[in-house]
Amino acid sequence: MPAYGAGPTGGCVLLDIEKLDEPRGLRLAGELDASNAEQLVEALEPEVDVGGDLTLDLAGLAFMDSIGIRVLLRTAQRLEGKGKLVLLSPGQLVRRTLDLIGGASLPNLDIVDEPSL
């Protein structure tokens, strides 16, 4: 389910969101920013409600801004007591962003550097 948003220069920023069955979760590709973060929130809602671990395959995510980080952190918080948020295969830029916020030490959040699904 592609999500479109207006980029900072008025261009179109594309975030592709694909549902995964095994492990349960979503595959993200493109850029996650303020222009399209709400589409990710909407895609995550039913998955969080189910409970259990939720995997986000980030191998195809080229960029994530602070709004995207906030979506991930809130998702991890909402899963607390029901499961954890697993961030799979973040690319170099996204991984660096996660490292800057201390992602590896955040509660209920696992960052896994494995090949993409």
37-50 vs 66-79: helix axis angle to the nearest 10? Answer: 10
Would you kindly state where each structural domain of the chain is located, as residue ranges?
Answer: 2-112
| Cβ neighbours, 10 Å, residue 95 | 16
pLDDT given at position 9: 45
User: Is this structure's pTM higher than 0.85?
Assistant: yes
* Cα separation values, 111 from 4, 9, 56, 58, 100, Å: 26, 31, 10, 10, 13
Query: Alpha-carbon torsion 81, 27, 58, 112, what sign?
Result: positive
One DSSP character per residue, 76-107 reads HHHHTTT--EEEE---HHHHHHHHHTTGGGST
CATH 3.30.750.24 fits 2-112, yes or no: yes
Divide the 117 residues of the chain into consecutive groups of 10 and give the mean pLDDT of each group: 48 84 96 96 96 97 96 97 97 94 93 79
